[in-house]
Amino acid sequence: MLGGSVVTSEVKISPTTGLSTLAAEGIYVWGERGEISIEIPDSASERTAHIYNVSGMLARTLSLQGTEGQVAVPAGIYIVRIGTAIEKVVVR
């Protein structure tokens, strides 16, 4: 209370990590039976996908030439990073 009046205000906090999701960049990643698939629409340049396991260790590196790529991995949960964008994927 300030001088007999009540003051209220609303504060919005948006956490940001500086990382975006791959889907937000138009890149689609999904897990299939023993494989991670990546689709990049209209990719004119070569990109590299870094695939990490849940322990944070680099499990695979995949050079993406064109619009699609696949890499064989054991069943598990992985983090796929292309540039600064990331996505979690489950492989069964």
- The pLDDT value recorded for residue 42 is 75
Place of tokens 């499990």: 59
How confident is the model at residue 61, as a pLDDT? Answer: 96
Per-residue pLDDT at 45: 79
pTM of the model: 0.75
Q: What's the distance, CA 56 to chain centroid?
A: 14
Q: What is the pLDDT of residue 48?
A: 93
| Per-residue confidence (pLDDT) for residue 69, from 0 to 100 | 93
| CATH fold of the domain at 20-91 | Immunoglobulin-like (2.60.40)
Question: What is the Cα–Cα distance from 53 to 76, expressed in whole angstroms?
Answer: 8
What is the mean pLDDT, run by run of 10 residues, along the chain of 92 residues?
A: 72 67 88 94 82 96 90 96 93 95
